[in-house]
Every structure is written in structure tokens, then in C-alpha cells.
């Protein structure tokens, strides 16, 4: 499928009062793109896809002035439609999960379940067999408990251990995906520094683990 409009033409036809033909063409392209991108997800209906495209069109028209022409216009438009669709899918998938369920705040209190290790998957490995892993797990749990702020700890557990998408954790913390990424980046930097202070480096870590096959 070739793009019959140049970037300049797309912009000319969409800026101000958009031409109905350009809107129809764009809408058709985005529908085809999303249908294809979401093909393997059986729970998504055609009407979901139409809603995503409708939301994306609004976003695209609102943000035309941010298009810098560094790619084809349609690539940029697909990028926006994909973000709209995937964000909405993540929202729906996680809508019934609260952060409180995922990361209980009792963490670190003196109740029996609240050991710093409780949230790190504790597998039935015998200590003799896997001393290094056990020690690392304990060390990491301790560092997460002691070196991170409450917010960093909560976000790291939700994202890295429980697998909740960044933007969903962000929504529940009244922030956004970008800011949460930065908060987690700071947390990772802190933990890395502390792990290295304990002699754990990425080289040593890879060595230890690959030797244990």
C-alpha cells in the first residue's frame, strides 16, 4: 500500500478545517492498521477499534503542530493510534486491580506475612543447591526495603514483580507514565549502586548464574 499523499499534502488537508476526504482516508488507514496490529486479540471488536481510531483522530488533529516531519505522516499517525489503543487495552485489563491489592502497605510491619521477602517470589529451592540465588534474593529484598522511598518501593514492586503496566501504576499514583519511569529509573540507579557496593556486578552476576545451569 503506498501513501499517495506527501507529508505537506496531509498537513495542508488536515490543518484548520480538515477536508472530509483527507479525514476519511486517514481514518481508513488507521482502521486497517489497528485491525492488523490487534488481529490476534480475540476479545477486541470492530467497534472497539472504531472507538480507538476516533480517539486517535482527535489526538492527531490536536497535535498536528508537533509533527516534525521526521517520518512519513502516516507513520506518525499510526504511532498515535497504537498508543491510544494499547493504553486503553491496558486500562481495561487492569481496571479491577488496585495498587493496594497488589502491594499491601503492611509491607515491613511486624505481622508474620510482612517479611521483606514475602513479595519476592520465593521458590522451593534448597539452600545448599542455590546459595547464591538465595543470598541475592535476600540482599535485594533488604535493599528494596531499606534504600527506596515508599513510593519507589511501591512502584517497583507493582511494575517489576507484579507486572502492572507503568501507566496503570501511574494512574493510581496520580502521576503519568513518563514521570513514573523517571521515578523507577532513580530507584534502579540507587539499587544498582548499593548492589555494586556489596560486590554484585552485572558481569559477576551473569557468571554466577550461567555456571549454575
Partner 1 sequence: MKAKSKKLTNLLLTILQTYAREIGCDTCFEHLDRYVEMTLAGKDASAVMPLVYRHLQTCPACREEYEALLKVLKRS
Residues in contact with partner 1 by CB under 8 A are: 1, 3, 29, 32-34, 36-37, 70-72, 74-76, 78-79, 82-83, 86, 90, 120-121, 123, 125, 130, 133, 136-137, 140, 160-161, 165-167, 177-179, 181-182, 185, 188-189, 191-192, 195, 200-202, 205, 209-210, 212-213
Residues 6 or more apart whose CB falls under 8 angstroms from that of 61 comprise: 14, 18
Nearer to partner 1, 51 or 162 (CB): 162
Nearer to partner 1, 18 or 181 (CB): 181
Distance separating alpha carbons of residues 7 and 47, to the nearest angstrom: 29
Minimum separation from the CB atom of position 155 to partner 1 (A): 13
Burial class (CB in 10 A: 0-12, 13-18, 19+), 144: buried
Nearer to partner 1, 97 or 136 (CB): 136
Minimum separation from the CB atom of position 174 to partner 1 (A): 17
Minimum separation from the CB atom of position 48 to partner 1 (A): 15
Q: Where are the alpha helices (DSSP H) in 45-159?
A: 46-62, 73-94, 99-102, 131-147, 150-156
Minimum separation from the CB atom of position 132 to partner 1 (A): 10
Query: Cα dist. 32→27, 88, 111, 116 in Å?
Result: 9, 18, 54, 48
Please state, as a whole number, how many other Cβ atoms lie within 10 Å of the Cβ of residue 96: 7
Minimum separation from the CB atom of position 76 to partner 1 (A): 5
List the helix and strand counts (H, then E) for the chain. 10, 0
Distance separating alpha carbons of residues 64 and 15, to the nearest angstrom: 7
Helix (H) or strand (E) holding 169: helix 166-172
Nearer to partner 1, 23 or 89 (CB): 89
Minimum separation from the CB atom of position 18 to partner 1 (A): 21
Amino acid at each position: 500500500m503506498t501513501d499517495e499523499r506527501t507529508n505537506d499534502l496531509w498537513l495542508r488537508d488536515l490543518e484548520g478545517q480538515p477536508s472530509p476526504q483527507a479525514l476519511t482516508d486517514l481514518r481508513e488507514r488507521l482502521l486497517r492498521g489497528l485491525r492488523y496490529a490487534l488481529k490476534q486479540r480475540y476479545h477486541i471488536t470492530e467497534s472497539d477499534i472504531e472507538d480507538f481510531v476516533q480517539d486517535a483522530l482527535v489526538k492527531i488533529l490536536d497535535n498536528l503542530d508537533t509533527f516534525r516531519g521526521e517520518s512519513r505522516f502516516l507513520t506518525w499517525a499510526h504511532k498515535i493510534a497504537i498508543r491510544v489503543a494499547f493504553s486503553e487495552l491496558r486500562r481495561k485489563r487492569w481496571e479491577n486491580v488496585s495498587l493496594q491489592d497488589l502491594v499491601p502497605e503492611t509491607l515491613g510491619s511486624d505481622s508474620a506475612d510482612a517479611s521483606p521477602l514475602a513479595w519476592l517470589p520465593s521458590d522451593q529451592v534448597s539452600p545448599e543447591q542455590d546459595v547464591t540465588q538465595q543470598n541475592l534474593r535476600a540482599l535485594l529484598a533488604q535493599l528494596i526495603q531499606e534504600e527506596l522511598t515508599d513510593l519507589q518501593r511501591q512502584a517497583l514492586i507493582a511494575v517489576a514483580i507484579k507486572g502492572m503496566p507503568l501507566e496503570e501504576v501511574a494512574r493510581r499514583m496520580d502521576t503519568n507514565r513518563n514521570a513514573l519511569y523517571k521515578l523507577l529509573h532513580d530507584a534502579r540507579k540507587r539499587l544498582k549502586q548499593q548492589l555494586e557496593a556489596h560486590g554484585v556486578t552485572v558481569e559477576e552476576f551473569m557468571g554466577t548464574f550461567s555456571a549454575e545451569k
